[in-house]
Structure 1
Amino acid sequence: MRAETLARLNAERAARRAAILVTDIADGGQRLVTEDAVAADPLAEILSRHLASGRSGLIEVDGHKKFLTVQVPPVRLVVIGAVHISQAMAPMAAALDLALTVIDPRTAFATPERFPGVALVPEWPDAALGGAVPALDRYCALAALTHDPKIDDPALRSALRAGCFYVGALGSRKTHAARLARLAEAGFSDSETARIRAPIGLAIGAVSPAEIALSVLGEIVAALRRAPCPEAA
C-alpha cells in the first residue's frame, strides 16, 4: 500500500468515517473510496452493499477480480435512561459488538451494581453529550427510554443534529405527538423528526423489558444494515 493511501485511510479512521480500499487482484493496483464518494463510484451498488454489511470480500466485475477491504467505524449505542429495558439490553448489545453507554442523571438508577461493566454517565444528557461522552455521529444509535421529556428531549435533539443512523424513543403515539410538537417548537422540521422511530422497536408484540430490548436492538440492526423492517405497533 502506498504511503499516501495509508495516510488517507488512517485519516478516515480517525474521523470515524467509513472507507473501502479496492485492490485489483491482477496487478495489485489500489484506490481508496471514501464514504462520501461511494454514490458516484462506478462500483457504487456493490460498494454500498459491502458498506452496509461491514464485510470485506472478493468481487468480480467484467471478468476482473478485485478485493474490497471495508473499514467501518465501531458502532456506538447511547441509551438514555438506566431503566429495566436498558439493563436487559446490556448483554445483548455486547453480543452484537455495540459499544453501549447509558446516560441518566438519576443516580439511584445509574449505578454500577445495576449495570456491571457498562459505561455509565450519571449526568443530564445535554451536559453528557456536550463533553462527558464522545461526540455523536452517523455511526451512533440513540435510544431514549425514560419517558421524561426533561431527560429524553435534549438527547433526541442532539441525535438529530448529529445525524445518528438510528434515533428511537419509548412512548405511545400520543406521547410521541406531544414530543413532535416540542421538537417543532425547538426548530426541527417534519422531515427531521420523521427520523425518530416511535413507538420504539420492531412490532414483535414485546411485553417484558427483555422483549422490548430485543425489539429495539432488532430495529437498530435493521437500520445499520439498511434492511427493510415492519413498523412498530
Structure 2
Amino acid sequence: MAEPTILQALLAWHRAGEGAVLATVTEAWSSAPTRPGAMLAICGSGESRGTLAGGAVEARVIPEALAALAEGAARELSLIVTDETARAARLACGGAIRVLLQPVGPALPEPLLAELAEAEAEGRSLALVTPLPPGPPPRLDGPAAWPERFRTGRSGEEEGVFVALYTPPLRLLVTGAGQIAEALVPMARLAGFTVEVIDPRPDIAASFSAAPVITAPPAEAIAAARPDPRTALVTLTHDHPVDDAALLAGLATPAFYIGSLGSRRTHAARLERLAAAGQPAEALERIHAPIGLNIEAVTPAEIAVSILAEIIATLRRR
C-alpha cells in the first residue's frame, strides 16, 4: 500500500483529532539546501512526513509547529542552517530559510485542504495562496492566475502573497526502448519524473530492462497517456514511421517538451514528412532536434544526460 502523501497525511491527522500543521519553505537565501515550496506535514504527536532541508532543520521546525498548533495561529520561522549542520545532514552547504507554519483548521481550513487533496488525486494543478505576513485566510487559485509560475514549476512570494504550487508529477514519455532509453529512464526517475516507455517493436521491447514497455502503436499509447503541460515526450527509435507517428501524436498535446533523435539531415527530412502530413511550421518548431543540449555527447549515457538536461532547461527557463 502506498504511503500517504503530505496532503493526505495532514487531512487524516486533522480528522482523527490529532492536530496537523503544514510547514512550507517560503524563502531560501545563500546556498540554502532547499527551495521555496518544500513542504513538511507535522502531526500533533510529533510525527512528520516530507522534508524541508534535512533532519537538523526538521528537528527545529517541529517544536515550533506544535507551538503554532497549540496557539491555533499561523506563524513564520526564520532559520540559519550552518555549513556544519548541513554536512551533518549529508547536504552540501548551509544558508538561511524562512518557513511558514499553518495549523490545519484555524490557519488552513479543512475544506480548502480537502479540495487540494482531491485535486492531487485527480492530477489537477492548484496553488495555495497565503498572504504574508500570515493572518488573512489562504485561498486556492488555478493555473490561469499564475501562468508563469505553473509553466516553470516555481513556488514563491509575489505581490504580498506566497504562492505554493501543487502540481502533478513531471512525466516523461519515451518512444524507443533502446540503449539511450536504458540510461535515460533511471536518470529521469531520479530527477522526479514518472516515466512510460513505448515501443511497438516486440523484439526491441522484450530486451528492455529499465521499465515495462507499452507495445501499443505510438499514437494510441500517447493518446491514452494524455500528456499535459508537465509532460515531456521524446522519440528515440531511428525508425521513421514509429518516430513520426509519436511526434504527430505529441504535437496534438500541450506537452512542454518534444524532442527527437537524429542528425540535422535526418531532422530536415523528418520536417518535410510531417509538413506533408499537415503539420504547420509553428507546430514543427516545437520539436527539439537534434535532441539534447550540445555537450558533444558520444555514448548512450552521455546522450541521455544531454536529453534530460535540455528537458529541465526547457521546463525552468520558459
SS of structure 1 residue aligned to 2:203: coil
Structure having greater relative contact order (Cα 8 Å, sep ≥ 6): 1
Distance 2:256 2:151 in 1: 13
Shift of residue 91, structure 1, vs aligned partner: 1.7
Q: Which runs of 5+ in 2 are unaligned?
A: 1-107
Among 29, 36, 49, the alignment partner of 2:137 is 29
Runs ≥4 in structure 1, deviation > 6 angstroms?
none
Among 105, 130, 135, the alignment partner of 2:226 is 135
Q: Is residue 2:266 matched to residue 1:175?
A: yes
Q: Is residue 2:159 matched to residue 1:52?
A: no
Asked whether the 8 Å contact 1:81–1:146 carries over to 2, the reply is yes
Among 80, 91, 98, the alignment partner of 2:193 is 98
Q: 1:119 to 1:223 in 2, by over 3 A?
A: farther
2:219 maps to 126
Larger C-alpha radius of gyration, 1 or 2?
A: 2
1:72 maps to 167
Q: 1:99 to 1:200 in 2, by over 3 A?
A: same
Asked whether the 8 Å contact 1:100–1:119 carries over to 2, the reply is no
Shift of residue 17, structure 1, vs aligned partner: 4.0
TM-score normalized by structure 2?
0.60
Query: 1:17-65: per-residue Cα shift (whole Å, max 9, x none)?
Result: 43221112432321222112225xxxxxxxx3576244x45x375xx5x
Question: 2:128 is aligned with what amino acid?
Answer: L
Among 289, 299, 315, the alignment partner of 1:198 is 289
Shift of residue 8, structure 1, vs aligned partner: 5.2
Shift of residue 72, structure 1, vs aligned partner: 1.7
Instruction: Give aligned-pair identity as a percent.
Output: 42
Question: 1:52 is aligned with what amino acid?
Answer: T
1:44 maps to none
Cα RMSD of the aligned pairs, angstroms, is 2.3
Distance 1:214 1:221 in 2: 11
Asked whether the 8 Å contact 2:258–2:286 carries over to 1, the reply is yes
SS of structure 1 residue aligned to 2:223: helix
Question: 2:219 is aligned with what amino acid?
Answer: D
Q: Which runs of 5+ in 1 are unaligned?
A: 40-47, 228-233
2:276 maps to 185
Query: 1:185-232: per-residue Cα shift (whole Å, max 9, x none)?
Result: 2221111110100000000000110000000000011111126xxxxx
Asked whether the 8 Å contact 2:185–2:195 carries over to 1, the reply is yes
Distance 1:213 1:4 in 2: 43
Q: Is residue 2:109 matched to residue 1:18?
A: no
Question: 2:185 is aligned with what amino acid?
Answer: A
Asked whether the 8 Å contact 2:175–2:218 carries over to 1, the reply is yes
1:115 maps to 209
Shift of residue 2, structure 1, vs aligned partner: 4.5
Asked whether the 8 Å contact 2:143–2:150 carries over to 1, the reply is no
2:300 maps to 209
Q: 1:98 to 1:60 in 2, by over 3 A?
A: closer
Q: 1:70 to 1:147 in 2, by over 3 A?
A: same
Asked whether the 8 Å contact 2:178–2:208 carries over to 1, the reply is no
Query: 1:90-110: per-residue Cα shift (whole Å, max 9, x none)?
Result: 221121111111111112121
Distance 2:119 2:243 in 1: 31
